C-alpha cells in the first residue's frame, strides 16, 4: 500500500512511457533481430507432443504440435479414427520438410510468417497415435467444434469465425471480397466483439458479486478458444488491466492503459510487433481513443468518423499487405459495422446455444454475402505501390500535425504523399525482365523504362490445383504501382503456360492478348470467349510488336501438329542485349529456326520446355551460344526437369533456375546489367 502513491505518480508521468517505449524497442530488437532461433528437432523421425491448433479439410489435417517448448507445423493426409484430436497428446511419425521463402518480390513470406509465430520446423506426418486425452480446457473447445460441425457449411464457416477466430472455413472468394470492400476487419475477433461479450455478461451477471473476476476468467478462456490471437489478447488484457487499476484506485486514461497493454504483450511475445492483427488493433484503437472527443453526432455520424479514422491511420499497413485501397470502404462500413456487430455476431452466439434457429441464421448470412457482392461491384480500388520507410514516416507526421492543429484541411498533404509514392516507380529509366517462379510452369514480365509498357509472357498454372500462381504475380505488379498489362503473350495452350490466363484477366486489367497458331484447344477457347465478353483485342499470327524502346519479333517456321512445337518463339534486342524465349519448342523447331533465321549470340535464353531433353539440342545451343540460360521449373517435379544432358549442353552458359534461384530479375540501365535472385 505504501508503494501505491509512487506507482500512481510513475504511471501518470509521460516520461515513464517514453522510457518504457525505448526499453521495449531495444528488447524487441534483441529478441527478434539479434537472437536467431532454429529448431532442435530437425532430424527427428518421430515426435511426441500436444496438438494446440488444428484445421481440417477433407482428408487433410494441418495442425500445430507443441513438443516441449517448441511448436511444429504438421501436415497429415489420410483418414483418422477420430479427427477431434485437438489438445490430445500424440506421437507422430514422418519427416521434416523445407519451408520456402517467397520467391516473388513483395509477396507473402510463409517461412517468415511461421518464424514470427515461433515455428521453426515443418513436418510431413505419415502416422498419428493418440497417447493421452485432452485436458478440461481442450475438452470444452472440442465440444464447441463438434457442435459447430453439425451446422450447414455456410453457418459453420461464420460460427467458426466468430466463436473460435478461425477463418479457414470461410470461402476464399468470399473472404477476398470482404477484403476488397475494406470490411474484413469485422470478421477478425477484436475489441468490438469483446465489448459486446462484456456487455452481455455484465447484464447476465448483474446481481452476482465478483462478476468482474468471472468476466475476466471467461475472457481469458475466450482468448484460449481463439488461439490467443493478437487482437483478442489486446482487448482482454486491456479489460483486465483497466479493472485492476480501478481496484487499486489508480486513475489512468484509456490511452495510457492501452500503451501499458501493448508494452506488456510485447514483453510476453516480442514477435507480436510483426503481427498484422496486433498492429491494426493497437493503431486503430489508439487513434480512436485519442480522438474520442471529436467522435460526436448520431450513430451513423459516429460510425463514419470511426471508419474514416481507421482508414487513414491504417492505410500504410493496408498498402504493405495488399498494395491497394478501396476508397469506398469508408462508406461500406456504414452498412457492415451495424449489420455485423449488432446482428450477425450476436446471432452467432444465440444460434450456437439455440441450434433450431439455424435456418434464420443461414438467411441472415446469405443476405450479408449478397450485400457484400453488390458492394464489391461498386468498389473504387486505387493501386498504391510499396511505400518507402521515409514516406510512411512523413505520412504519420502529417496525421500527427492534423491532430495537433485540429486542421482537417491538411489532408491534402496525405494525397500529395500518396501521389509522390505512386509516381516514383514511373521515374525509373531502367528496363526490367522478370522470370517469375510459378513452380512447374512459365511466366515472365517485361517492364519498359518509366513503365511505358508492361508485357507478360505466359501466366503459369498448376494442373489439378485450385491455387492460382498468377495471383502472386498480380500482387507483385501492384507493389510496383503497375495498374495494367499492356500485352499478354501466350506462347501456347498448355496449362502450365496459360492455365491462369482467365484468372489474370478477371482480376487484373489486360489491354491486348497474343496467341499462337494454327488451332485452339479448350483452354484457348475459354480464353477467347472471355476476351470476347470483356471486349479485349486478341491477335494471332503476328510477326512483330513495335514498342518505343524495343521490338518483339515472333519467329515463325512451320505449322506443326502439336501445341509445343507451335509455341510462339520470341526474340528481341534491348540496347546490346539479345533475348530469346523458346516456349516448349522441340529440337525439330530449333533446327528449322537455324535454317530460316540468322540468330545472333543470345545473352538471355529462356530455355525451351523447362530443360526437357526434347529441347535445347547441342547444335542449337552451340549456334546461339547463350551467356545466361534461364530454366523455369518446379522443385522436385515429376517430369525430372531439367534433364542432365541438357544441363551439360548448357554448361558453358551461366544457368539460372527458378527452382533453385526463385524469380530472377534482370535490370538494364543504359548498357549496365544487374541480376538479382529471390531464392526459396
Which among 172, 180, 526, 158 is positioned nearest to 332, based on CA atoms?
Answer: 180
For 488-514, write each residue's pLDDT tens digit: 999 999 999 999 999 999 999 999 999
Mean pLDDT of 401-430: 91
Same domain, 454 and 574: yes
Cβ neighbour number for residue 487 with a 10 Å cutoff: 20
pTM: 0.92
Same structural domain for residues 274 and 406?
Answer: no
Whole-angstrom CA distances from 489 to 7, 526, 569, 599 are: 68, 16, 10, 21
Q: Does 40 reside within a domain?
A: no
More confident residue, 368 or 408: 368
Largest Cα–Cα separation, the chain: 96
The last residue of one of the domains, among 76, 108, 134, is 134
Per-residue pLDDT of 153-205, as tens digits, reads 999 999 999 999 998 888 888 999 999 998 988 888 888 889 888 998 998 88
Instruction: Please tell me the total count of domains within the chain.
Output: 4
Cis-peptide, bond into residue 518, ω within 30° of zero: yes
Same-domain status, 512 and 614:
yes
Burial of 53 (0-12, 13-18, 19+ CB in 10 A): middle
CA torsion through residues 232, 238, 244, 246, sign: negative
Residues 459-479: tens digit of each pLDDT: 999 987 888 999 999 999 999
For the cut 80, the answer to whether the pLDDT of residue 7 exceeds it is no
Q: Is residue 531 part of a domain?
A: yes
Residue 189: what pLDDT?
A: 83
In the listed set 328, 355, 383, which residue is the last one of a domain according to the structure?
383
35: pLDDT confidence band, cut at 50, 70 and 90? very high
Residue/partner pairs of 234-239 with CB below 8 Å, 24 or more apart:
234/190, 234/191, 234/261, 234/262, 234/265, 234/278, 234/281, 234/282, 234/285, 235/190, 235/191, 235/193, 235/194, 235/195, 235/281, 236/194, 237/261, 237/264, 237/265, 238/191, 239/194, 239/198, 239/215
CATH number of the structural domain spanning residue 68: 2.40.50.140
Say yes or no: 317 and 462 in one domain: no
- Per the domain annotation, does 184 fall within a domain? yes
Tell me the sheet residues that pair with 579: 572, 604
- Sequence-distant contacts of 126-130: CB under 8 A, at least 24 apart: 126/93, 126/94, 126/95, 127/92, 127/93, 127/94, 128/76, 128/80, 128/85, 128/90, 128/91, 128/92, 129/90, 129/91, 129/92, 130/82, 130/85, 130/88, 130/89, 130/90
pLDDT of residue 192: 81
344 and 236 fall within a common domain: yes
Indicate whether 549 and 672 sit together in one domain.
yes
Mean pLDDT of 124-131: 93
* 285: containing domain: 4-27+148-383
Express each pLDDT in 59-116 by its tens digit: 789 999 999 889 999 999 887 767 788 999 999 999 999 889 999 999 999 999 999 9
Please state whether the peptide bond connecting residue 642 to the residue before it is cis, i.e. omega within 30 degrees of 0. yes
Query: CA-to-CA distance for 519 and 493, rounded, in angstroms?
Result: 10
Question: At how many degrees (to 10) do helices 254-268 and 276-290 cross?
Answer: 160
Residue 207 has pLDDT above 60, yes or no: yes
In a domain, 190, yes or no: yes
For residue 84, the model assigns a pLDDT of 84
Percent of the chain surpassing pLDDT 70: 99
Percent of the chain with pLDDT over 90: 79
What would the pLDDT profile of 613-659 be if each residue is shown by its tens digit?
A: 999 999 999 999 999 999 999 998 999 999 999 999 999 999 999 99
Residues 160 and 238 in one domain: yes
Give the tens place of pLDDT for each residue, 251-278: 899 999 999 999 999 999 999 999 999 9
Q: Which of 100, 134, 168 is the last residue of a domain?
A: 134
> Do 631 and 553 belong together in one domain?
yes
Q: What is the pLDDT of residues 138-150, one digit of tens each?
A: 999 999 999 999 9
CA atoms in the 13 A half-sphere facing the CB of 585 = 30
Q: Classify residue 35: in a domain, yes or no.
A: no
Determine which helix (DSSP H) or strand (DSSP E) holds 433, and give its type and residue range.
strand 431-435
In this prediction, residue 1 has a pLDDT band, given cuts at 50, 70 and 90, of: low
Amino acid at each position: 500500500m505504501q508503494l501505491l502513491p509512487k506507482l500512481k505518480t510513475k504511471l501518470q508521468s509521460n516520461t515513464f512511457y517514453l522510457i518504457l517505449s525505448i526499453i521495449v524497442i531495444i528488447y524487441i530488437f534483441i529478441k527478434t533481430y539479434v537472437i536467431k532461433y532454429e529448431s532442435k528437432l530437425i532430424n527427428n523421425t518421430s515426435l511426441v507432443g500436444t496438438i494446440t491448433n488444428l484445421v481440417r479439410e477433407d482428408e487433410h489435417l494441418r495442425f500445430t504440435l507443441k513438443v516441449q517448448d517448441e511448436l511444429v507445423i504438421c501436415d497429415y493426409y489420410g483418414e483418422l479414427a477420430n479427427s477431434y484430436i485437438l489438445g490430445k497428446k500424440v506421437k507422430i511419425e514422418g519427416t521434416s520438410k523445407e519451408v520456402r521463402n517467397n520467391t516473388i518480390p513483395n509477396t507473402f513470406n510463409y517461412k517468415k510468417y511461421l518464424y514470427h509465430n515461433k515455428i521453426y520446423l515443418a513436418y510431413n506426418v505419415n502416422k498419428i497415435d493418440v497417447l493421452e486425452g485432452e485436458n478440461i480446457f481442450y475438452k470444452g473447445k472440442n465440444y464447441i467444434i463438434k457442435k459447430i460441425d453439425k451446422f450447414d457449411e455456410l453457418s459453420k464457416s461464420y460460427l467458426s469465425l466468430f466463436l473460435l477466430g478461425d477463418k479457414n472455413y470461410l470461402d476464399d472468394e468470399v473472404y477476398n471480397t470482404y477484403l476488397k470492400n475494406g470490411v474484413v476487419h469485422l470478421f477478425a475477433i477484436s475489441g468490438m466483439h469483446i465489448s459486446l461479450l462484456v456487455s452481455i455478461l455484465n447484464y447476465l451477471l448483474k446481481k452476482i458479486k465478483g462478476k468482474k473476476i468471472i468476466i475476466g476468467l471467461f475472457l481469458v478462456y475466450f482468448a484460449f478458444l481463439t488461439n490467443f490471437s493478437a487482437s483478442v489478447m489486446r482487448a482482454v488484457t486491456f479489460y483486465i488491466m483497466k479493472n485492476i487499476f480501478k481496484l487499486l484506485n489508480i486513475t489512468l486514461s484509456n490511452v495510457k492503459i492501452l500503451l501499458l497493454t501493448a508494452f506488456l504483450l510485447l514483453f510476453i511475445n516480442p514477435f507480436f510487433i510483426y503481427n498484422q492483427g496486433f498492429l491494426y488493433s493497437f493503431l486503430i484503437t489508439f487513434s480512436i481513443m485519442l480522438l474520442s472527443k471529436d467522435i460526436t453526432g448520431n450513430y451513423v455520424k459516429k460510425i463514419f468518423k470511426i471508419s474514416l479514422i481507421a482508414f487513414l491511420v491504417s492505410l500504410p499497413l493496408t498498402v504493405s499487405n495488399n498494395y491497394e485501397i478501396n476508397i469506398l470502404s469508408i462508406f461500406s462500413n456504414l452498412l457492415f459495422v451495424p449489420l455485423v456487430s449488432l446482428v450477425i455476431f450476436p446471432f452467432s452466439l444465440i444460434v450456437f446455444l439455440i441450434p433450431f434457429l439455424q435456418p434464420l441464421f443461414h438467411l441472415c448470412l446469405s443476405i450479408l454475402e449478397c450485400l457484400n457482392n453488390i458492394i464489391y461491384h461498386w468498389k473504387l480500388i486505387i493501386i498504391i505501390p510499396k511505400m518507402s520507410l521515409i514516406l510512411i514516416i512523413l505520412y504519420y507526421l502529417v496525421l500527427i500535425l492534423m491532430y495537433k492543429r485540429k486542421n482537417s484541411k491538411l489532408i491534402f498533404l496525405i494525397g500529395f504523399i500518396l501521389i509522390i509514392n505512386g509516381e516514383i516507380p514511373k521515374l525509373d529509366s531502367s528496363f526490367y525482365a522478370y522470370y517469375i517462379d510459378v513452380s512447374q510452369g512459365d511466366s515472365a514480365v517485361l517492364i519498359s523504362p518509366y513503365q511505358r509498357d508492361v508485357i507478360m509472357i505466359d501466366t503459369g498454372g498448376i494442373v489439378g490445383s485450385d491455387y492460382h500462381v498468377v495471383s502472386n504475380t498480380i500482387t507483385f505488379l501492384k507493389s510496383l504501382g503497375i495498374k495494367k498489362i499492356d500485352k499478354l503473350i501466350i506462347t501456347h495452350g498448355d496449362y502450365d503456360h496459360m492455365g491462369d490466363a482467365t484468372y489474370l484477366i478477371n482480376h487484373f486489367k489486360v489491354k491486348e492478348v497474343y496467341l499462337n497458331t494454327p488451332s485452339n484447344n479448350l483452354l484457348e477457347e475459354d480464353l477467347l470467349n472471355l476476351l470476347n465478353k470483356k471486349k479485349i483485342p486478341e491477335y494471332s499470327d503476328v510477326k512483330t510488336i513495335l514498342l518505343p524502346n524495343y521490338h518483339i519479333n515472333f519467329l515463325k517456321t512451320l505449322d506443326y501438329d502439336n501445341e509445343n512445337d507451335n509455341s510462339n518463339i520470341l526474340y528481341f534486342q534491348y540496347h546490346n542485349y539479345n533475348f530469346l524465349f523458346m516456349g516448349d519448342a522441340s529440337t525439330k523447331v530449333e533446327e528449322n529456326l537455324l535454317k530460316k533465321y540468322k540468330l545472333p549470340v543470345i545473352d538471355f535464353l529462356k530455355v525451351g520446355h523447362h530443360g526437357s531433353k526434347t529441347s535445347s539440342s547441342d547444335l542449337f545451343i552451340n549456334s546461339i551460344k547463350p551467356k545466361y540460360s534461364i530454366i523455369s521449373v518446379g522443385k522436385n517435379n515429376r517430369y525430372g526437369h531439367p534433364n542432365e544432358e541438357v544441363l551439360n549442353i548448357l554448361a558453358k552458359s551461366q544457368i539460372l533456375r527458378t527452382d533453385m534461384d526463385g524469380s530472377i530479375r534482370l535490370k538494364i540501365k543504359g548498357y549496365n546489367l544487374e541480376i538479382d535472385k529471390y531464392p526459396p
